[in-house]
């Protein structure tokens, strides 16, 4: 029996985004406030995922051994450190979230059967690394508030209530939506970045947050004049709106996760899948906690 196990760890450290070959003005242009001396800090949360066969004791690995290895190889060297100087790898490539995850993989791979490293710099910013050279994933979280009504125009109120329950009530209802956008790309060998984070966040704000925030989706977003704004369809539409702008940034849109409430969320894997308009019908999302009840 093959299983994946996960171990969580924490460390606090500071870093600075600064390239000595650039002027102060150029560093500010590239990195903004992150280039300021003497740097800034984060409380990092690390998840180490390992894969293996169960042994006769019902374990993939002894977690006490795993804890010791992670502490010796990663936590002790990095905790309360200035990352730029902590490891030689960060002299060549800046210690961005995605590059720290990559280097942690390199440090742990000789000791553990890794399948993924996930590193949170902040609850709304984290990176995933799966051992593929310089390829990594970066996730940005944001939010918007909007109202919607789940109903099909050609059905009666009673029929819509049978399908959508309370969500079919005539005047709609609202949610504080939490949106996670995951991109995939190559880590730049000097800056340590998949993409300029400020530009990525601004793109998401311009394309999604500002147009969607404080709207009645059925009436204010043209697309939902004909498509029922379920969490699944909202996530698919967000994917279609972001595909081209994200591609122009030099990376690939990988996943959209829309959390409608603590009980209901939806994930859409992106990649090279065709858009809804290309398919001529609603695409199939990956659902988590599927349901229409509030």
Annotated catalytic residues are 167, 214, 260
Separation of alpha carbons 144 and 206, rounded Å: 12
Q: What's phi and psi for 153, nearest 5 deg?
A: -60, -35
Half-sphere exposure of 179 (CA within 13 A, CB side): 26
Torsion of CA 200, 204, 210, 212, to 10 degrees: -170
User: ∠ CA(254), CA(177), CA(210), 5° rounding?
Assistant: 80
Contact call for residues 123 and 152 (beta carbons, < 8 A): no
- Residues 126, 124: Cα–Cα separation, whole Å: 7
Distance CA 189, CA 30 (A): 15
Q: What is the signed CA dihedral for 7, 11, 17, 18, rounded to 10 degrees?
A: -120
In sequence order, the 6+-apart residues with CB closer than 8 A to the CB of 23 are none
Q: Which residues contact 108 (CB under 8 A, 6 or more apart)?
A: 48, 69, 70, 73, 74, 114, 117
The secondary structure of 153-180, three-state, reads CCCCHHHHHHHHHHHHCCCCEEEEEEEE
Cis? peptide before 228, omega within 30° of 0: no
Whether 9 and 46 have beta carbons less than 8 Å apart is answered as yes
């Amino acid at each position: 029996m093959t299983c994946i196990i996960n171990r969580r760890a924490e460390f606090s450290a500071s870093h600075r985004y600064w390239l000595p070959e650039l002027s102060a003005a150029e560093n500010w242009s590239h990195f903004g406030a992150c280039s300021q001396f003497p740097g800034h800090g984060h409380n990092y949360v690390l998840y180490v995922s390992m894969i293996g066969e169960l042994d006769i004791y019902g374990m993939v690995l002894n977690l006490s051994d795993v804890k010791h290895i992670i502490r010796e190889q990663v936590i002790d060297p990095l905790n309360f450190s200035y990352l730029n100087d902590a490891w030689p790898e960060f002299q060549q490539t800046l210690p961005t979230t995605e590059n720290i995850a990559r280097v942690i993989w390199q440090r742990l791979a000789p000791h553990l059967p890794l399948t993924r490293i996930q590193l949170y710099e902040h609850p709304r910013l984290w990176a995933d690394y799966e051992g593929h050279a310089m390829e990594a994933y970066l996730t940005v979280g944001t939010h918007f508030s909007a109202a919607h009504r789940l109903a099909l125009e050609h059905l009666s109120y009673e029929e819509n209530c049978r399908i959508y329950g309370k969500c079919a009530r005539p005047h709609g209802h609202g949610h504080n939506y939490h949106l996670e956008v995951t991109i995939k790309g190559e880590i730049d060998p000097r800056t340590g970045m998949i993409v300029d984070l400020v530009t990525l966040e601004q793109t998401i704000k311009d394309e999604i947050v500002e147009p969607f925030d404080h709207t009645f989706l059925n009436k204010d977003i043209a697309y939902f004049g004909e498509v029922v704004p379920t969490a699944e369809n909202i996530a698919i539409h967000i994917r279609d709106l972001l595909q081209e702008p994200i591609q122009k940034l030099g990376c690939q849109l990988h996943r959209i996760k829309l959390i409608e409430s603590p009980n209901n969320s939806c994930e859409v894997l992106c990649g090279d899948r065709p858009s809804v308009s290309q398919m001529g019908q609603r695409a199939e999302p990956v659902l988590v906690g599927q349901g229409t009840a509030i």
